[in-house]
Amino acid sequence: MLHNPRYAGVFSFGRHRQILGPNHKTHTRPVTARHEQIAFIPAAHPGYITLAAFDANQARLAECAAAHGTDRKAGPPREGPALLQGIIVCGRCGRRMTVRYHLARDGAELPTYVCQHDKVENAGPDCQTIPGAGIDSAIGALLIDTLTPLTVEAALTVTAELEHRAHQADQLRAAAVERARYHADLARRRYLAVDPANRLVADTLEADWNNALRAHRDAQDTYDQATNTATGTLTDAQQARIRQLVTDFPAIFNDPRTPHRERKRMARLLLTDVTVTKTADTITCHVRLPGGQNHTLTLPTLKPAWLLRKTPPHVVAAVDDLLGHHTHTEIADILNNRGLTSGEGRPFHKLTVARIARNYQLPSREQRLREAGLLTLTEMAAALNVSTGTVKTWRDAGLVNGHRFNDHGQMLYDPPGPNPPTRHQGHPALTKRRPAQTPQPIATNQRGAV
């Protein structure tokens, strides 16, 4: 009953057609286009509803069916914050994308747009998964940019121009009606003036009069039709209201108290659909507006969390450079003094430096010093043929040169030169020989150096 136009006062025939299939079976196919039906006569009898109401019902039914169909085209706006729910299209396969939500740390719902038709139907992978927060804010900004008072002013100016043209066209059509009426009147007077004895002339004039009347009626019909279909003009009050709405739009759209559902309704009035494609670096959004305008937005893809926290390359290079001369604690202090921060934006600590050195497989300070030919305490003692304790005493006295390679005060020693110190150079004459200009690397290294 909902689909039968008979209830709208229409006589119709041939809404279904039978076609013969290749297997000699007949199939019934609906004929949706009215001009293809055998008969479609509006107002053939009084209807329960008007034809316009019937058409509106059909459109609404088709829309609701689409929301439940495989395409899920533009279902009703729901409560979630995903602005593009129902109007976002996958740029790869051209099908509607669905929305998935997850909670952020602060409790906010973050949308993710997912194309999962292939997954649902064929157990394949997700076609595209695109984080929605960035797209939503970019589209929102685009809408606010698009609907500025300036653009509306331009639209109202165009409307005024169109009204002016429509008025001109109306005058032309009115003149055509007037002309047809004059010709009909002339034909009538000619017919009345003829002598009835001249039957042949009278017949011809009568036919002329008929034609002129028909032409007049057609012109009148055209005029009426054009007048009925003409869009109404905007009054000054309506124009002022439109301007006010446009001025208010950004505030309402951005107000957190505006329900998501209302925000989506506003977006749907201003957007036809948005087609998104994600590549490795960018997300491209093709935005269609109802007026036939198109916009293309290119957004950067969100980096994964590990990449966001990654140590910047110049910091790694600095650590590599400083490891040649400093321990981890010293490096952390130097980097902090330079105003650098770790990948997470925090100040450096010796453990951070140690982690960077380990993760990036930077050679340790010990390795570097050993490669430069420096000796351990035991090796130094063997080379000098003294005890390790004597080496430490000599180091404190400045007779041999030690380099700290870690924060525990451990040291490596320069190999003894051609004139190594000898045993009798120890105390007590030592204090005299101590060269004042040889600074110790760090004052604390007397404690527990090995």
- Where along the sequence are the contacts to Zn ion (CB under 5 A)? 90, 92-93, 115, 127
CB of 113 to Zn ion, least distance (A): 10
Structure tokens at 400: 């041999």
Size of the chain, expressed as the number of residues it contains: 450
Element of type H or E holding 294: strand 294-300
Q: Which is nearer to Zn ion, 127 or 316 (CB)?
A: 127
Which tokens hold the place of 182?
């004059």
Shorter beta-carbon distance to Zn ion: residue 74 or 383: 74
Per-residue burial over 262-280, b if 16 or more Cβ lie within 10 Å, else e, is ebbebbbebbebbbbebee
Rg (alpha carbons) of the chain, rounded to whole number: 45
Residue whose CB is less far from Zn ion, 283 or 384: 283
Are 403 and 441 a contacting pair, CB within 8 Å?
Answer: yes
Tokens representing residue 399 in the block: 């007779």
CB of 219 to Zn ion, least distance (A): 55
Nearer Cβ to Zn ion, position 183 or 278?
A: 278
Tokens of 85: 């729910």
Residue number, 93 or 155, with CB nearest to Zn ion: 93
- Name the residue nearer to Zn ion (CB basis): 89 or 270: 89
Residue 442 tokens read as 């760090």
Q: How many CA atoms lie within 13 A of 144 on its CB side?
A: 16
Main-chain dihedrals φ then ψ at residue 346, nearest 5 degrees: -105, 160
Give the three-state DSSP class for 349: coil
- CB nearer to Zn ion: pick between 88 and 381: 88
Tokens of 94: 């051209």
Question: Which residue lies nearer to Zn ion by CB, 97 or 323?
Answer: 97
CB of 91 to Zn ion, least distance (A): 8
Q: Least distance to Zn ion from the beta carbon of 279, Å? A: 14
Residue 184 belongs to what H/E stretch?
helix 149-193
Residue 72 φ/ψ region, left for φ over 0, alpha for ψ in the -120 to 50 degree band, beta for the rest: left
Q: How far is the CB of 303 from Zn ion (least distance, A)?
A: 23
Q: What are the residues facing 284 on neighbouring strands? A: 277, 298
Instruction: Considering the complex, state which of residue 115 and residue 411 has its C-beta at the smaller distance from Zn ion.
Output: 115
Least Cβ distance, residue 142 to Zn ion (angstroms) = 23
Shortest distance (Å) from residue 272 CB to Zn ion: 19
Q: How far is the CB of 109 from Zn ion (least distance, A)?
A: 23
SS3 32: coil
What letter does residue 375 receive in the DSSP assignment? B
For residues 433-442, b (16+ Cβ closer than 10 Å) or e, as one string?
A: eeeeeeeeee
Give the pair of three-digit tokens for residue 341: 């921060």
Q: In angstroms, how far is CA 36 from the centroid of its own chain?
A: 43
Whole-number Å distance between alpha carbons of 412 and 421: 17
Q: How far is the CB of 98 from Zn ion (least distance, A)?
A: 11
